[in-house]
């Protein structure tokens, strides 16, 4: 089902649908979901629209292509552009990732095709990554292009797979498999292609039934606490949780448990 309000978003590569509390952003820019500045502006606009919709809690980020999640920057466009345009593209891509990370919505990257360069970096900015077990690669090959990741890859990858593994992946630029991604914790689930859509939808549903305030507070605590010492991190957790305790949703959650019924969370 397309929301009329978001259909206009899909000029470059972004098709947005919403069903209940679950939105789906489908990247669709053949042949490789390679992105330009306009693509990122559109994606940020789509996220703005979804964040303004009080019904939305989870965003599934997927690809229309059976072969590519995203191949990263459009290298034809990049090669033809000025140094200023190339910097602007890196900045636009960084803004998209920041928008994902600072959003109160929960983003799940559903990788079922090549996720390379800025395409993988987009997935690294998401809260959860899952993958399909198929013949494609993931990686940050920028070093082979005389470049380096410019969209958070040198910072988010070590925080996910560890510094040593990230160093090898970044300094060789070598691609890796979905199985590697699961082993290294870059994705948390790996499913056969025939099961992937169903399992991805199940994960989104499992998250979508939670209280929106609790989801966003937990996301913030996870992000804010990861780079500080434990004592400060525990203070962050306490601070994020403090306002939840007084929320109507917390009262509803407890009442629903005691009354043995599903909770009806309203985000307040």
Ligand X SMILES: CCCCCCCCCCCCC/C=C/C(=O)SCCNC(=O)CCNC(=O)[C@H](O)C(C)(C)COP(=O)(O)OP(=O)(O)OC[C@H]1O[C@@H](n2cnc3c(N)ncnc32)[C@H](O)[C@@H]1OP(=O)(O)O
Please report how close the Cβ of residue 262 comes to ligand X at its closest, in angstroms: 43
Query: Which of 71, 86, 57, 81 minimizes the C-alpha distance to 27?
Result: 71
Q: Which candidate in 17, 19, 101, 121 is catalytic?
A: 121
Nearer to ligand X among residue 173 and residue 212 (C-beta): 173
Contact 90, 40 (CB under 8 A): no
The minimum distance between CB 92 and ligand X, in angstroms, equals 9
Q: Which residues bind ligand X (CB under 6 A)?
A: 31-32, 34, 71-76, 87, 90-91, 114, 116-118, 141-142, 145, 147-148, 150
β partners of residue 90? none
Q: How far is the CB of 88 from ligand X (least distance, A)?
A: 7
| Rounded (5°) CA angle 23-27-30 | 155
Which is closer to ligand X, CB of 142 or CB of 249?
A: 142
Nearer to ligand X, 136 or 265 (CB): 136
Q: Which is nearer to ligand X, 145 or 256 (CB)?
A: 145
Residues 6+ apart with CB under 8 A from 45: 9, 14
**For residues 224 and 78, what is the distance between their CA atoms, to the nearest angstrom?**
33
Is 179 part of the annotated catalytic residue set?
Answer: no
The catalytically annotated residue of 110, 142, 231, 259 is: 142
CA dist 38 and 43 (Å) reads 9
Q: Could you tell me the smallest distance in angstroms from the CB atom of residue 261 to ligand X?
A: 48
Q: Which pairs from 236-240 meet CB under 8 Å and 24+ separation? A: none
Instruction: Give the bridge partners for 62, in sequence order.
Output: 26
State the catalytic residues: 121, 142
């Amino acid at each position: 089902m397309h929301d009329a309000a978001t259909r206009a978003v899909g000029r470059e590569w972004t098709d947005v649908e919403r069903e209940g509390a679950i939105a789906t952003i489908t990247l669709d820019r053949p042949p490789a979901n390679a992105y330009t500045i306009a693509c990122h502006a559109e994606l940020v606009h789509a996220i703005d629209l979804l964040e303004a919709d009080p019904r939305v809690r989870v965003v599934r980020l997927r690809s229309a292509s059976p072969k590519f999640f995203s191949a990263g920057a459009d290298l034809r466009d990049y090669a033809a552009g000025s140094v200023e345009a190339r910097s602007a593209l890196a900045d636009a891509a960084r803004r998209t990732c920041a928008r994902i990370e600072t959003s109160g919505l929960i983003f799940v990257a559903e990788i079922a095709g090549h996720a390379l360069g800025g395409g993988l970096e987009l997935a690294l900015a998401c809260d959860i990554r899952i993958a399909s077990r198929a013949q494609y690669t993931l990686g940050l090959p920028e070093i082979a292009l005389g470049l380096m990741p410019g969209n958070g890859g040198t910072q988010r990858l070590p925080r996910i797979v560890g510094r040593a593994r990230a160093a090898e992946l970044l300094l060789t630029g070598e691609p890796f498999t979905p199985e590697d991604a699961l082993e290294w914790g870059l994705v948390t689930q790996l499913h056969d292609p025939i099961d992937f859509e169903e399992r991805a939808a199940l994960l989104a549903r499992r998250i979508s039934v939670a209280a929106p305030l609790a989801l966003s507070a937990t996301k913030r605590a996870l992000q804010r606490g990861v780079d500080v010492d434990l004592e400060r991190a525990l203070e962050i957790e306490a601070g994020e949780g403090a306002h939840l305790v007084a929320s109507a949703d917390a009262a509803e959650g407890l009442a629903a448990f005691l009354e043995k019924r599903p909770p009806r969370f309203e985000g307040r």
